[in-house]
């Protein structure tokens, strides 16, 4: 019996994402501690913080894509009515790409250098949907057109090295959205691009988000990207969530000392005169283990004795704004 022709997956609306008490360990090292976060359907939440703060670990754990040796030790991740942390085997494989999809930072590393780009996209449809070779090739060209690649028939026949960085990034976006997932996890996908191409990719993702109703979690260290794309912002440090608010609340009313320090660094880099030194945060993030108490206290200019022994709890400061600082607990 001939199999029915493969169909392009039906477009679906994004879903709420609920992360509840999530902790992740690499061997004996706890990299993420008791993080809870809500991402409303169809919105974008940016994860910000210095390298080592836990951004990528949170994103990979959300998509159940942690590397070997890493494990979720507590908590859950729910996308709509699907509890990803409860899935395993075939159910988890089916959820990847359909419930949640991952957009890698380095498109060159994500693509096979010896396979034509059209073939790489087509294989997704053949393996996951049982499409014939001809049907998969047609879906591949359609996907390339959807992400704004001109002359998709020609581009599909090229190898990754023949494409620019921006074009390679569009290819992996096409692959990530092949099954119109409810959640897209983007791991700094514009970091290696120049500002013009970066703006094009941000515009593309925004268009696709509106068209597909995607819920997006976007990792970045660039506050200008946050201002461009985010609805809400989650600030992480030392594997903990230290502040969560809407994007306007971040830029106009950040309350945690670490968030304020990040914003000062950003504004200094943007506004500093020639040869004027940039603002920096003294010290460096914890690497060999998180200190007791508030993880930021060794670098915090406002730290008190209490900060070195007690972990601050998240305080509700306003609607949709929480932060974890002892000074806020005391109403300061």
Where does the pLDDT of residue 13 fall: very low under 50, low under 70, confident under 90, or very high at 90 and above? low
Which positions ≥6 away from 196 have C-beta within 8 Å?
none
Partners of 236 in beta bridges: 241
For residue 22 the two structure tokens come to 């999530």
Most confident range, picked from 4-8, 195-199, 309-313, 326-330? 309-313
275-281 LR contacts (CB < 8 Å, sep 24+): 281/50
> What does the alpha-carbon distance between residue 50 and residue 289 come to, in Å, rounded to a whole number?
15
Residue among 232, 235, 234 nearest 247 (CA)? 232
Q: Is the pLDDT of residue 99 over 70?
A: yes
Burial class (CB in 10 A: 0-12, 13-18, 19+), 2: exposed
Query: Which residue ranges make up each domain of the chain?
Result: 255-332
> What does the alpha-carbon distance between residue 127 and residue 267 come to, in Å, rounded to a whole number?
47
Which positions ≥6 away from 292 have C-beta within 8 Å?
308, 309
> What does the alpha-carbon distance between residue 164 and residue 312 come to, in Å, rounded to a whole number?
46
Q: What are phi and psi of 267, to 5 degrees?
A: -65, -35
CA-based torsion, 227, 233, 238, 239: positive or negative: negative
What does R_g of the chain's alpha carbons equal in angstroms? Answer: 21
> What does the alpha-carbon distance between residue 27 and residue 35 come to, in Å, rounded to a whole number?
19
What's the whole-model pTM score?
A: 0.89
For residue 237 the two structure tokens come to 């440090």
For residue 200 the two structure tokens come to 């094009």
Q: What's the pLDDT at 1? A: 37
How many of the other CB atoms lie within 10 Å of CB of 75? 18
> What does the alpha-carbon distance between residue 180 and residue 8 come to, in Å, rounded to a whole number?
9
215, 194 in Cβ contact below 8 A?
no
Residue among 26, 18, 40, 31 nearest 85 (CA)? 18
Q: What's the pLDDT at 3? A: 40
What are the residue ranges of helices labelled H in the chain? 55-62, 89-95, 107-110, 117-129, 133-146, 152-156, 165-176, 195-212, 223-229, 247-253, 257-271, 326-329
The mean per-residue pLDDT over the stretch 180-206 comes to: 88
Decide which of 218 and 109 is more confident: 218
Which positions ≥6 away from 326 have C-beta within 8 Å?
294, 304, 306, 307, 310, 312
> What does the alpha-carbon distance between residue 157 and residue 115 come to, in Å, rounded to a whole number?
9
The mean per-residue pLDDT over the stretch 22-49 comes to: 93
Q: List pLDDT tens digits, range 211-236.
A: 888 999 999 988 999 999 999 999 99
For residue 301 the two structure tokens come to 């200019």
Q: List pLDDT tens digits, range 169-184.
A: 999 999 998 888 999 9
Q: List pLDDT tens digits, range 128-157.
A: 888 889 999 999 999 999 999 989 999 999
β pairing state of 29-39 and 17-26: antiparallel
> What does the alpha-carbon distance between residue 22 and residue 215 come to, in Å, rounded to a whole number?
19
């Amino acid at each position: 019996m001939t199999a029915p022709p493969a169909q392009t997956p039906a477009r679906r609306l994004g879903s709420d994402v609920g992360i509840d008490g999530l902790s992740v360990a690499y061997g004996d090292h706890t990299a993420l501690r008791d993080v809870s976060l809500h991402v409303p359907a169809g919105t974008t939440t940016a994860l910000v913080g210095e390298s080592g703060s836990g951004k990528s670990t949170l994103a990979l754990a959300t998509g159940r894509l942690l590397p070997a040796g890493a494990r979720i030790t507590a908590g859950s991740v729910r996308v709509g009515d699907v509890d990803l942390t409860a899935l395993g085997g075939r159910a988890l494989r089916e959820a990847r790409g359909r419930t949640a999809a991952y957009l890698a930072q380095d498109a060159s590393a994500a693509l096979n250098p010896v396979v034509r780009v059209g073939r790489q996209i087509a294989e997704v449809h053949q393996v996951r949907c049982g499409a014939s070779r001809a049907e998969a090739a047609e879906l591949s060209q359609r996907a390339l057109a959807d992400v704004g690649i001109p002359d998709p028939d020609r581009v599909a026949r090229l190898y990754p090295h023949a494409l620019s960085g921006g074009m390679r990034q569009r290819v992996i976006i096409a692959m990530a959205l092949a099954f119109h997932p409810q959640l897209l996890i983007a791991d700094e996908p514009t970091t290696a691009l120049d500002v013009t191409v970066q703006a094009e990719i941000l515009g593309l993702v925004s268009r696709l988000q509106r068209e597909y109703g995607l819920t997006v979690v976007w990792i970045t260290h660039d506050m200008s990207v946050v201002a461009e794309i985010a609805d809400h912002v989650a600030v992480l440090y030392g594997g903990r969530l230290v502040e969560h608010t809407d994007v306007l609340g971040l830029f106009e009313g950040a309350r945690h000392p670490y968030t304020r320090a990040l914003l000062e660094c950003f504004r200094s880099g943007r506004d500093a005169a020639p040869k004027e030194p940039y603002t920096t945060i003294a010290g460096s993030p914890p690497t060999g283990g998180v200190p007791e108490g508030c993880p930021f206290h060794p670098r915090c200019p406002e730290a008190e004795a209490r900060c070195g022994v007690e972990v601050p709890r998240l305080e509700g400061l306003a609607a949709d704004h929480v932060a974890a600082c002892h000074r806020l607990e005391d109403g300061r």
